[in-house]
Amino acid sequence: MKPGSFVTFEGIEGAGKSSNISYAEMLLKNSGKPVMLTREPGGTPLGESLRELLLGHQHDGMSFKAELLLMFAARAQHLQSKILPALERGEWVICDRFTDATYAYQGGGRNLDSAVISVLETLVQGERRPDLTILLDLPVEMGLERAGQRSAPDRFEKEKLDFFERVRAAYLQIAGKDPQRVKVVDASLPLEQVQQQIKVVLAPFLESA
Ligand code: TMP
């Protein structure tokens, strides 16, 4: 059985990940691919418990290094018990955030050393990386305005504008370094135009898979 492809979606808050992930799922299913949707932090019982600790407010003073390690703890479980088995079964895995989010939020946002993140990445993932990453990019003010219309802010959403500017810049830097894997989509445009870009980015993948 040919292994499936590993597709991740990234972006700051309010970039429109949920609706665009549903759209990508629909495109893949329409072309006959088996798809598994999942998210980080989360995706497994342990990961979802860690997500509650990471996003909730019961540990508002969490150290940035503890935050980093919990992200990778959730990821280790997620890869072993959910992502890798699905890929081996030949499924396409669409993951709402993955390690690029750690480089962007803990590296860019929290100013933790990306060399340390890279060591943890290798420990947890070995050589495994997403086959395709769609970065939904838009100005921070626009994203926060959209996100602000949703429920009460979580521990990350409470951060200030300059935090998200660093997150966005880190994401764009990752895309600049790895343009083959990371495709930047302009998420400030109306939804139909964003979807059109996603269709274009996925097309060669669907053809070659
Ligand atoms: P969301 O995926 O529902 O938008 O929320 C997850 C939050 O967790 C988001 O603010 C980004 C943050 N996050 C990190 O800081 N580092 C990570 O490695 C991941 C996966 C998420």
Query: How do beta strands 6-11 and 92-96 pair?
Result: parallel
Question: Is residue 23 included in any domain, yes or no?
Answer: yes
Distance 2 CA to ligand 1 centre (A): 31
pLDDT at 204: 87
> Could you tell me if the CB of 121 is within 6 A of ligand 1?
no
The two tokens of residue 128 are: 């495994």
Give the predicted TM-score (pTM) of the model.
0.97
Give the largest Cα separation in the chain, rounded.
48
Question: Is residue 152 included in any domain, yes or no?
Answer: yes
Query: Residue 25: which H helix or E strand, with range?
Result: helix 17-30
| Number of domains observed in the structure of the chain | 1
Residue with tokens 């329409």: 30
C-beta neighbour count of 196 within 10 angstroms: 13
Whether residue 185 contacts residue 201, with contact meaning beta carbons closer than 8 Å, is answered with: yes
> Could you tell me if the CB of 105 is within 6 A of ligand 1?
yes
Cα–Cα distance measured from residue 149 to residue 16, given in angstroms and rounded to the nearest whole number:
13
Domain harbouring 173, CATH code = 3.40.50.300
Whether residue 184 contacts residue 135, with contact meaning beta carbons closer than 8 Å, is answered with: yes
Indicate which atom in ligand 1 lies nearest the CA of residue 156.
10
pLDDT at 27: 96
pLDDT at 207: 76
Question: Is residue 52 included in any domain, yes or no?
Answer: no
Structural domain of 91:
6-38+84-208
Question: Is residue 58 included in any domain, yes or no?
Answer: no
Write out pLDDT tens, residues 6-55.
999 999 999 999 999 999 999 999 999 999 999 999 999 999 999 999 99
